[in-house]
Structure 1
Amino acid sequence: MLTQQEISDRFEIQDLVFHYADLIDQKRIEELRDAVFTADAHIDYSAVGGSVGDLDATLEFLKSSLTDALFPNSQHLNANLQIQVDGDSATGRIMCFNPMEMTLSDTESQTYFLGIWYVDEYRRTENGWRICSRREEKSWVFNAPEFMNF
């Protein structure tokens, strides 16, 4: 049976995961620094062609790739949150359904869909739970532009 603390921790981590998705979709990338990740976070987006590295490298990658000109619209829908708490640390496996509208030219765009898993490690900090490690695992891709190699 879960304790009240474990239930509270799981809800806080769930809110953290949802907040990440909301910030990404609003392209409020810099806010990820203090609100979502630890300063020493390691993030691996390579499963879908993204960067691998520390927090600064990740934020630079996100700022340069998630522009309105390239991706005017996206949604990161998280589900099937599987979170295990162990004191001040936790792990999670989170499903993400991710439609992305990509601009192909001045008059053409294409929407494609990604199914990914986030494999996370979390740490309780003085400011609440934060992601200290995130690795994406690709599950499936649908309708991606031909030039993308997923």
Structure 2
Amino acid sequence: MALTLQEMSDRFEIQDLIVDYCYAVDNRAFDALDAIFTPEAVIDYSEMVGVKGGLPEIKAFLTESLGAVRAFQHAVSTTQYRIDGDTATTRTAVYNPMVLDEDGTERVMVFGLWYHHDYVRTAQGWRISRLYEQPCYSENVPDWVKDLTR
């Protein structure tokens, strides 16, 4: 199936949103999320860390909860796109190692997960209207992190 120029443009714009989200979180630039999500977006981390909410709540959660994390790096790949006019959905594979400081000792924990995004085309371009993180696997996760989802 050959893509039209509009379909290619839509895919690139949506891909940029996924990458921009990852970089905003990795750089702790949480205010940058305002240009990525719609104002009424729902962000659902409930299965990963027990939190679901709107953008203001999620920005506050990220600011507070990532304090114990010294470094992290989201790597995304193999995105499936479903674009239907001015709405779209994607499913993306995510690899996310995180370095924790546990009383001066580094621990690297790793999460493999799926991002499920919903998008809407706005006057400012595509924006994410929903993000759901679906867990796939994890390695070397301390009990206190596991307890967040119980």
The aligned counterpart of 1:63 is: 63
- Report the 3-state secondary structure (helix = DSSP H, G, I; strand = E; otherwise coil) of the residue aligned with 1:136: strand
Structure 2, unpaired ranges of 5+: none
In structure 2, the residue matched to 1:145 is 142
AA of the residue aligned to 1:130: R
Q: 1:8 — aligned with what?
A: 9
Residue of structure 1 in register with 2:131 after alignment? 134
| TM-superposed deviation, 1:50 | 3.9
Structure 1 equivalent of residue 18 of structure 2: 17
Question: Paired residue for 2:83?
Answer: 85
Aligned residue type for 2:66: L
Deviation at 1:53, TM superposition (A): 1.0
Distance 1:82 1:96 in 2: 13
Q: Match of 1:41?
A: 41
1:108 offset after TM fit, Å? 1.1
| Paired position in structure 1 for 2:109 | 112
Partners in 1 of 2:56 and 2:45 — Cα distance? 14
What are the ranges of 5 or more consecutive residues in structure 1 without an aligned counterpart? none
In structure 2, what is the Cα distance between the partners aligned to 1:22 and 1:50?
22
Runs of 4+, deviation exceeding 6 Å? none
Letter in structure 1 aligned against 2:145: M
**For 1:88 and 1:141, how far apart are their aligned partners in 2?**
35
How far is the alpha carbon of 1:44 from its aligned partner? 0.3
SS of 1:16 mapped into structure 2: helix
2:37 aligned partner, one-letter code: F
Equivalents in 1 of 2:144, 2:75: separation in Å?
25
Q: Aligned residue pairs: how many?
A: 146
| RMSD over aligned Cα atoms | 1.1
- TM-score normalised by the chain length of structure 2: 0.93
Which has the larger share of helix? 2
User: How far off is 1:147 after superposition?
Assistant: 3.1
